A and B are shown apart, each in its own frame.
Chain A
Amino acid sequence: MRTGIFFLKTNYLLIASILFFQFFINSCTELDRDTIAIGLNTAPITLDPRYATDAISYRITRLLYKSLVDFDEQFHAIPELAVWKKISPTHYRFTLVDALREFHDGSLLTSADVKATYESVLNPDEASPHKGSIAMIESIHAVDPNTIDFKLSYPDSLFPGRLVIGILPEELIYKKHNFSREPIGSGSMKILNFKNDMHLKLKRLHDNKVIEFITLKDPIVRVLKLLKGEIDLIQGNLPPEVIAWLDQKESIHIEKKRGNTFTYLGFNMEDPITGNILIRNAIAHAIDRESIIKYVMGSSARLAGSLLPPEHWAGHPNLTGFDYNPEKARMLLNQAGYHDSSPLRLIYKISNDPFRLRLATIIQDQLASVGIEVEIRSYDWGTFYGDIKEGRFQMYSLSWVGLKVPDIFHYIFHSKAIPPHGANRGRFVDSNVDLILELAESEVSLDKQAVYYKELQEYLLKALPYIPLWYEDNILISKFNVKNYTLSADGNFDSLEYVIKN
Chain B
Amino acid sequence: MYLNYIIKRLFGAVFVLFSILTLVFFLIHIVPGDPIEVMLGETARAVDREALRHSLGLDLPVIQQWAEYLRGFTHFDLGMSLHSKQHVSQLLLQRIPATFTLSFASLFVAVLIAVPLGILSAVHKDSIWDRLSMMSAMLGVSIPNFVMGPLLILIFSLWLEWLPVSGNEGMNSLILPALTLGSALAAVLSRMIRSSMLEVLQEDYIRSARARGLTEFKILVFHALRNAALPVVTILGMQLGTLLAGAVITETIFSWPGIGQLMIESIQKRDYPIVQGCVILISFSYVLINLITDFICVSLDPRIKVD
- Complex Cα distance, B86 from A180, in Å, reads 9
Verify if B31 is at the interface (C-beta below 8 Å from A): yes
Taking a contact as CB atoms under 8 Å apart, the answer to whether A53 and B41 are in contact is yes
Listed stretches B3-11, B66-74, B150-158; interface member: B150-158
Verify if A419 is at the interface (C-beta below 8 Å from B): yes
Taking a contact as CB atoms under 8 Å apart, the answer to whether B164 and A29 are in contact is yes
- Complex Cα distance, B158 from A220, in Å, reads 13
List, in ascending order, chain B residues with CB within 8 A of A387's CB. 32
Interface residues of A in 14-65 (CB under 8 A from B): 14, 17, 20-21, 24-25, 27-29, 31, 45-46, 53
How many residues of chain A get a CB closer than 8 Å to chain B's CBs? Answer: 64
List, in ascending order, chain A residues with CB within 8 A of B115's CB. 13
Contact with A along B99-140 (1 / 0, CB 8 A): 000000000000010011001100110000000000000000
**B254 interface neighbour in A135, A221, A421, Cβ under 8 Å:** A221
Verify if A499 is at the interface (C-beta below 8 Å from B): no
Q: Shortest beta-carbon distance, A181 to chain B, in Å?
A: 7
Taking a contact as CB atoms under 8 Å apart, the answer to whether B216 and A6 are in contact is yes
**B42 interface neighbour in A46, A381, A422, Cβ under 8 Å:** A422
List, in ascending order, chain A residues with CB within 8 A of B254's CB. 221
Listed stretches A142-150, A223-231, A463-471, A488-496; interface member: A223-231
Taking a contact as CB atoms under 8 Å apart, the answer to whether A221 and B150 are in contact is yes
Contact with A along B39-65 (1 / 0, CB 8 A): 111111111110110010000000000
Name which residue of chain A comes closest to B49, CB basis: A420
Taking a contact as CB atoms under 8 Å apart, the answer to whether A124 and B48 are in contact is yes
Name which residue of chain A comes closest to B160, CB basis: A25
Taking a contact as CB atoms under 8 Å apart, the answer to whether A127 and B48 are in contact is yes
Q: Shortest beta-carbon distance, B139 to chain A, in Å?
A: 17
Verify if B12 is at the interface (C-beta below 8 Å from A): no
Taking a contact as CB atoms under 8 Å apart, the answer to whether B175 and A24 are in contact is yes
**A45 interface neighbour in B47, B83, B116, B253, Cβ under 8 Å:** B83
Verify if A354 is at the interface (C-beta below 8 Å from B): no
Verify if A455 is at the interface (C-beta below 8 Å from B): no
If the complex has contacts A127-B48, A129-B39, are A227 and B158 also in contact, measured as CB distance less than 8 A? Answer: yes
Taking a contact as CB atoms under 8 Å apart, the answer to whether B86 and A181 are in contact is yes
* 3 A-B pairs with the lowest CB-CB distances in the bound complex, closest first: A382-B33, A196-B257, A127-B52
What is the interface of chain A, defined by CB distance below 8 A to chain B? 2-3, 5-7, 9-10, 13-14, 17, 20-21, 24-25, 27-29, 31, 45-46, 53, 124-125, 127, 129-133, 135, 178, 180-181, 195-199, 214-218, 220-221, 224-225, 227-228, 230, 380-383, 385-387, 389, 411, 419-423
With A221-B150, A230-B166, A420-B46 known, 13 other A-B pairs at CB within 8 A are A6-B119, A24-B171, A24-B175, A53-B40, A127-B55, A129-B40, A129-B41, A220-B150, A221-B165, A227-B158, A228-B157, A381-B38, A420-B49
Ordered by A's residue number, 9 sampled pairs between the chains whose C-beta atoms are within 8 Å are A3-B216, A6-B220, A25-B163, A28-B163, A127-B40, A224-B158, A225-B165, A230-B166, A386-B34
